A = this chain, B = another copy of it.
């Protein structure tokens, strides 16, 4: 059955982005340190068109996180471009160029209506102004039997989590401190909305915690 999933990298002190996030530096100061564990992996390099790399305990976790995704939901900030209404003549078309790596329907949460955008390789962007439940309903329909990925940012993942709409989350816990920035769980309260830890995979530079409904 179709599940709603997200994965996110988080520091030991709970931050998923450093301070000073901006269009130029979407991860914030120091935020790149949350992702360094992935860069040497062959599976990560291959996703980005690079050869070589290594395999370790994280490899199957990353492979699983990429598999069986039929649709993606993301926030407007992750889609990118300047805030506010879309430019009528030359609207921002995302970070990913003519052939984005999704290859399936993507639903972008925004306050500003815009017609759908179809790009190469099977990626379509649909702009949803009716909120998180409407976006998820459209994404579930598009995904069919496959899963829906919440691509982020963290605020979007947290909104779905708090609404009890997440079936699986993978926390990639990185053993470092960021000290400030954006916390995944700020305002999420003291329960995990039915999710519980179902698997722990420890690698040298990251520990993967999978939460799911039993």
Oligomeric state, in copies:
2
Given contacts A200-B207, A207-B202, contact A179 B171 (CB under 8 A): no
Q: Is the CB of A191 within 8 A of B171?
A: no
Contact residues, A38-66 vs B (CB, 8 A):
none
Residues in chain B near residue A35, CB distance under 8 A: none
A180 within 8 A of B: yes
A179 and B189 CA atoms in complex are apart in Å by 4
Q: Is the CB of B192 within 8 A of A177?
A: yes
Residue contacts A-B, CB under 8 angstroms, 18 given = A12-B14, A12-B171, A13-B185, A13-B188, A14-B183, A30-B190, A173-B173, A175-B196, A175-B197, A177-B185, A177-B188, A177-B192, A178-B190, A179-B185, A179-B189, A197-B205, A200-B202, A202-B202
Question: Chain A interface secondary structure, helix, strand, loop or mixed?
Answer: loop
Who on chain B is nearest to A180 by CB? B190
Least Cβ–Cβ distance between A96 and chain B, in angstroms: 30
